[in-house]
Amino acid sequence: MADGAGSGLRADAERNRLRLLGAAQELFAERGLDVSMRQIALHAGVGEPTLRRRFPTKETLIAAAFQAKITSYAETAEHALREVNPWDGFTSFVRALTAMQLGDRGFADVLTMTFPPSLRAESERRRAYAALSALVTRAQDADALRKDFTPEDVVLILMAHAGVVAGAGPLAPVMSARLVEYFLEAFAAPGARRLPAAPSPAQTYRAMLRLHGGASSSATEPS
The domain defined by 2-65 folds into: Tetracycline Repressor; domain 2 (1.10.357)
Residue 27's contacts (CB-CB under 8 Å, 6 or more residues apart) are 35, 39, 40, 43
Element of type H or E holding 75? helix 67-81
Q: Is 104 helix (H, G, I), strand (E, B) or coil?
A: coil
Distance of alpha carbon 163 from alpha carbon 81, whole angstroms:
28
The domain defined by 67-211 folds into: Tetracycline Repressor; domain 2 (1.10.357)
Give the residue ranges of DSSP H helices in 142-200: 153-167, 172-187
Per-residue pLDDT tens listing for the chain (223 residues): 445 555 555 777 788 889 999 999 999 988 888 999 999 999 999 889 989 989 999 999 999 999 888 999 999 999 999 999 999 999 999 999 999 888 887 887 887 778 888 788 888 888 999 999 999 999 999 999 999 999 988 888 988 888 888 777 788 888 899 999 999 999 998 754 555 666 677 777 677 776 666 544 444 555 5
